Structure 1
Amino acid sequence: MTEDISIKIINPDDEKAAPILEELSANLYLRFGSDGRNSFTDWQNNNAKFVFVAAELNNEIIGCGAIRPIEGNIGEVKRMYSKFRGKKIGQTILTFLEKEAKKIGFTELVLETRVKNIEAVEFYKKQQYNIIPNYGKYIDRPEAICFGKSLI
């Protein structure tokens, strides 16, 4: 399936992105009681260090992900979502984001997910992300688990 998936950089405000972002938010809210939208409010469309991507298959957006700067040469992975499990959509998106991050000049990527989100925790471990101390607004939040990966 991965050979048929295309990854495109788009604006998260693009109307084509709305359905997948709505699905992601509804999924998060249903599973964890929070939709994750508040962590995406500082998005800067004109800043090249902010990258939002959509995964497309047969003209349908089936996944999304983003990176944004958080400090120095560190980028943060945000809004990762795959409509279908086990199809390597998330892996394809994350690989694309890592390549873009290197082009931008990020030397490290970090991210946060919920401890309860077992699928995400296992996914990031498989992608060679290591558990790191919680950072930023996640420092005193026991429900959060943070990961990091060197891009060097």
Structure 2
Amino acid sequence: MTENISIKITNPDSDEAFPILEELSANLHLRFGSDGRNSFTDWENNNESFVFVVAEMNNEIVGCGAVRPINKTIGEVKRMYSKFSRKKIGQTILTFLEKEAKKIGFTELVLETRVKNESAVHFYQKQQYKVIPNYGKYINRPEAICFGKTLK
């Protein structure tokens, strides 16, 4: 039986987003020693180039994700998280974000994850993201692996 997942655009500072973002940060800190919060501080409310979503399943927030602009044509995927594995939560969030990114006018999405985060690396490859040279603050950071995807 496939679970029904709904995606909702919201504000990362909202009460509904707070618990899932805290869980994501705690998970990242436990696994990698850094919670990733410092890479998500430039959020601009009421800016149509920024999209933050939560995923809900059975009246529970079970995931989140965001896109923010790198420039006018390239968006960056941030704060992707799924509370449960193998329920298509991440795939549903990412598909939604890709559609929203196209509406904004982005023609490409990029993202970074840790090389050690093998499940994320596999997930993005399965979603047709290709390894790209590290960009921005990830240049010369061997623990980082960057991905990109052209939106069609």
TM-score (normalised: structure 1): 0.98
Deviation at 1:58, TM superposition (A): 1.8
Identify the residue that residue 23 of structure 1 maps to in structure 2.
23
| Compared CA separation, residues 2 and 72, structure 1 to 2 (3 A) | farther
Deviation at 1:2, TM superposition (A): 5.3
Contact persistence 2:129–2:147 (CA under 8 A) = yes
Contact persistence 1:55–1:89 (CA under 8 A) = yes
Identify the residue that residue 147 of structure 2 maps to in structure 1.
147
| Compared CA separation, residues 2 and 107, structure 1 to 2 (3 A) | farther
Aligned length: 152
Identify the residue that residue 14 of structure 2 maps to in structure 1.
14
Identify the residue that residue 132 of structure 1 maps to in structure 2.
132
| Compared CA separation, residues 2 and 145, structure 1 to 2 (3 A) | farther
Identify the residue that residue 97 of structure 1 maps to in structure 2.
97
Distance 1:4 1:86 in 2: 13
Mark the runs of 5 or more structure 1 residues left unpaired by the alignment. Answer: none
Does residue 1:78 correspond to 2:78, yes or no?
yes
Distance 1:4 1:87 in 2: 10
Mark the runs of 5 or more structure 2 residues left unpaired by the alignment. Answer: none
Identify the residue that residue 66 of structure 2 maps to in structure 1.
66
Moved over 6 A (4+): none
Contact persistence 1:114–1:144 (CA under 8 A) = yes
Task: Say which SS state the counterpart of residue 71 (structure 1) adopts.
Answer: coil
Contact persistence 1:2–1:88 (CA under 8 A) = no
Contact persistence 2:133–2:146 (CA under 8 A) = yes
Deviation at 1:72, TM superposition (A): 2.7
Contact persistence 1:81–1:90 (CA under 8 A) = yes
Contact persistence 2:6–2:56 (CA under 8 A) = yes
Identify the residue that residue 110 of structure 2 maps to in structure 1.
110
Contact persistence 1:75–1:106 (CA under 8 A) = yes
